[in-house]
Amino acid sequence: MTLFSQQLERLGFAHGSAIQPRQEGRFQIEVHPHAASVTLFGLDRIVKYKRGPREARAKELRRLRTLMQTRLPDLNPSLSLRLPAVPRTGNLKPVEDQIDAVLCAYIAAHWWYWAAQRNKVYGANEDGYVVVPKSPFTEARDSIYY
């Protein structure tokens, strides 16, 4: 367990790796936006916006931004949003951090809404874990997601 996680526990945030859907309380979970984007958006591979030449990263960050704006409104829970534009020049990091933060917040909301019913927990509290939404594209096609 990290120092940050321990500090959150002292503030009353329990590990939420085993919550029930829509359970009341204050929880902390570990999420991974790359893994979640693959499953949530039905991708074959991660969106590569973290490393590489600036133009390649900017192109992929624009792709992630578009995926989030067009697909999150169709999922359950639904999220309609505006995200900052990816700059044509200059530093990408501030926008990258904002887009990552929104995706991480959505993953947390998805976990709170569905818990293990529509998410997978990899690992355990003792050694560390990460919560990743299950793909709406491989689940049974029903009105829950669409």
Instruction: State pLDDT tens for residues 7-21.
Output: 999 999 999 999 999
Whether residue 144 has pLDDT greater than 60: no
Contact 67/41 with Cβ under 8 angstroms? yes
Strand partners, 28: 15
Of 105, 83, 108, 81, the residue nearest 94 (C-alpha): 83
Mean pLDDT of 84-101: 98
User: In the prediction, which pLDDT does 125 show?
Assistant: 85
User: In the prediction, which pLDDT does 143 show?
Assistant: 44
User: 120-141: per-residue pLDDT in tens?
Assistant: 999 998 888 999 999 987 654 4
CA–CA separation, 81 and 93 (whole Å): 20
Reported pTM: 0.91
Whether residue 100 has pLDDT greater than 80: yes
CA–CA separation, 146 and 40 (whole Å): 13
User: 41-58: per-residue pLDDT in tens?
Assistant: 999 999 999 999 999 999
Q: Work out whether strand 119-124 and strand 128-133 pair parallel, antiparallel, or are unpaired.
A: antiparallel
User: In the prediction, which pLDDT does 142 show?
Assistant: 44
Q: Tell me the pLDDT of the chain averaged across its residues.
A: 93
